[in-house]
Amino acid sequence: MCIMSSVNTITALCLLAMVVCVAGHYKIAAFNIQTFGRAKMDKPDVVNIIKQIVLRYDIILIQEIRDSSGNSLKVLNNTLNTQEHFSYTLSPRLGRSSNYKEQYAYFYRTDRVNLVATHLYDDNTPADVFEREPYCTLFEIPEPAPWKLALVGLHSKPDDAVEEIGYLNVVDAEVEAEFNTTNILFLGDLNAACNYASAAELSHTEIFTNSDYSVLISRSKDTTTKSSTCAYDRIIAKGSRLKSAIVSAGVFDFKSAYSLTQQETVVVSDHFPVEITLSSSL
């Protein structure tokens, strides 16, 4: 695969993203990088695309990490730090099967936000609801005056998506108690669409119906890079301070943004990132 013709476009967009940050906004995203590991990170062109995507954001949740050695994340972090100041926090390896496990990672700009705490949801109950327990972080947003924002990352098991989504209000209560904040973003590949979660099924879940929560990525969006049209990936907000800061939310179509072919796109992932922009000028 050769995508060098796209490098100039990517670089220009990366510079634009950094200008947006300086102009007074915080950008947060969730990205399921399909089977993220050594095989993917051995492809320089793919690494370059992932790097430019991550550079768009102040905080980004990466899902479906499969490299048990952790080397792929170190390579990505080192690559990011050739241009900017990034660090990351990594969850334990999660999953019921001994043969298949995933991890979550939050990459963040250390000169823009402060990581305060992390918390893995305690799913040690007979119900054992989650295949991969939500990995939660608490960040301090410094401007205009410091405030705290919690992020709850989830990659649901497709066949159990409705049940897992239906339990997020319980996770919410634990996160509020753990982090002492009501400003919470739920984000990730919830598999909240198409055959895995119908509109009727989601209408029975607290997080999709209670007015305390705002669903920022609607069912009409397409978060997939292949032929399906499904809003698997979602961002849901709770908390008055957070909601008052929301400028926009949407799907980042890196295929169009970077003028990639379909083949070049799917080698990166079968998902697009979902993103939210927050104002820092309140």
Catalytic hit among 102, 131, 133, 275:
102
To which residue do tokens 């390579």 refer? 75
Residues 256, 35, 18, 145, Cα dihedral to 10°: 130
- Does the active-site annotation cover 25? no
Using DSSP bridges, classify how beta strands 86-90 and 103-109 pair: parallel, antiparallel or unpaired.
Answer: antiparallel
| Order of all β-strands in the sheet with 213-215 | 114-120, 135-141, 147-153, 184-189, 233-238, 213-215
Catalytic hit among 131, 133, 155, 164:
155
To which residue do tokens 């695309």 refer? 49
> Radius of gyration of the chain from Cα atoms?
18
- Does the active-site annotation cover 102? yes
The DSSP element (H or E) to which 234 belongs, if any, is: strand 233-238
Q: Which residues are catalytic?
A: 102, 155
